[in-house]
C-alpha cells in the first residue's frame, strides 16, 4: 500500500494553529496526532518537521511538540499566508500584507523606472493595458485578470533590480490570489486603481521615477483602503 502524504495533515494542523484552535504553548504528542489523524508516525513526523521549519512548532525530548507564538512564524511563507486566509484572522492578514505592499511596491516602481530593460518596460506597459481592458469589461474577478495582475506586480519587483524586493513576490502574489479566490476582488475594479496601474506602467516605460513611485502609491493605497474597510 502506498504511503499516505503528509500534505493534508500539514494543512489541517497549519489552519488549526493559525486560527488559534491550538494556542501558543499548547503541547502535542506524536502519538496523539497519529491517533487523531489515523495516519502513520512517519506522516506525522513529516508534517511536524515542516511546521518546525516554519517556526510554528518546537519539538523537545520528554516534552512533546509545542506550538510557538506567531512572532516566531515564517511570516512570508506562502503556505502560512494561505492558512491565515482560511481562518478568522483573514481580514487582518489581508491588511498586513497590503501594508507590506505599500512599503515595498512604490520603491520597486521607482527603481524599475531607473533600471528596467526595454523589454521589461514594454511588458509592464502591455500588462497594465491588459488589466485596464479586462477591468473595464467587468472581468476583474476572473482567472485571466488575476494572472495578469500577478505578472504585472512580479515584473515590477523583478525590474527593480533589487533581489531583496524581488524576494517578496511569492508572498504578495499569495495575497493577491487569496483575495481573488475569496471573492473579494470586484468584477469591475476601482477605476482609480486601474488608472494608476496604467500611469505607473507609463512612468516606468519613460523612465520617470517620481511618477512611477507616486502612481504606485496611489493604487496600493486604494487597495489598502478596501481591505481595511472590509474588517
DSSP 206: H
Question: 7-18 and 78-86 are packed helices; what angle lies between their axes, rounded to 10 degrees?
Answer: 60
Mean pLDDT across 48-64:
95
- Ordered DSSP codes for 205-230: HHT-HHHHHHHHHHHHHHHHHHHHHT
Q: Does the pLDDT of residue 231 top 60, yes or no?
A: no
Q: Which three cell numbers stand for residue 46?
A: 513529516
pTM of the model: 0.88
Average pLDDT along the chain: 93
pLDDT, one tens digit per residue, over 140-179 is 999 999 999 999 999 999 999 999 999 999 999 998 998 8
Amino acid at each position: 500500500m502506498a504511503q499516505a502524504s503528509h500534505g493534508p495533515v500539514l494543512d489541517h494542523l497549519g489552519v488549526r494553529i493559525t486560527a488559534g484552535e491550538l494556542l501558543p504553548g499548547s503541547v502535542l504528542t506524536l502519538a496523539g496526532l497519529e491517533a487523531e489523524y489515523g495516519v502513520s508516525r512517519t506522516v506525522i513526523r513529516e508534517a511536524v518537521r515542516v511546521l518546525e521549519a516554519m517556526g510554528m512548532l518546537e519539538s523537545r525530548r520528554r516534552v512533546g511538540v509545542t506550538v510557538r507564538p506567531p512572532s516566531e512564524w515564517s511570516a512570508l511563507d506562502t503556505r502560512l499566508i494561505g492558512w491565515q486566509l482560511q481562518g478568522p484572522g483573514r481580514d487582518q492578514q489581508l491588511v498586513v500584507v497590503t501594508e507590506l505592499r505599500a512599503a515595498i511596491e512604490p520603491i520597486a516602481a521607482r527603481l524599475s523606472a531607473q533600471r528596467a530593460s526595454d523589454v521589461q518596460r514594454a511588458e509592464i506597459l502591455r500588462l497594465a493595458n491588459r488589466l485596464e481592458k479586462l477591468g473595464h469589461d467587468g472581468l476583474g474577478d476572473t482567472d485571466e485578470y488575476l494572472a495578469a495582475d500577478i505578472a504585472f506586480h512580479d515584473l515590477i519587483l523583478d525590474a527593480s533590480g533589487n533581489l531583496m524586493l524581488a524576494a517578496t513576490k511569492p508572498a504578495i502574489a499569495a495575497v493577491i490570489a487569496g483575495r481573488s479566490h475569496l471573492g473579494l476582488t470586484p468584477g469591475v475594479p476601482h477605476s482609480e486603481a486601474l488608472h494608476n496601474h496604467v500611469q505607473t506602467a507609463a512612468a516606468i516605460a519613460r523612465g520617470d521615477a517620481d511618477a512611477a513611485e507616486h502612481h504606485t502609491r496611489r493604487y496600493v493605497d486604494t487597495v489598502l483602503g478596501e481591505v481595511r474597510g472590509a474588517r
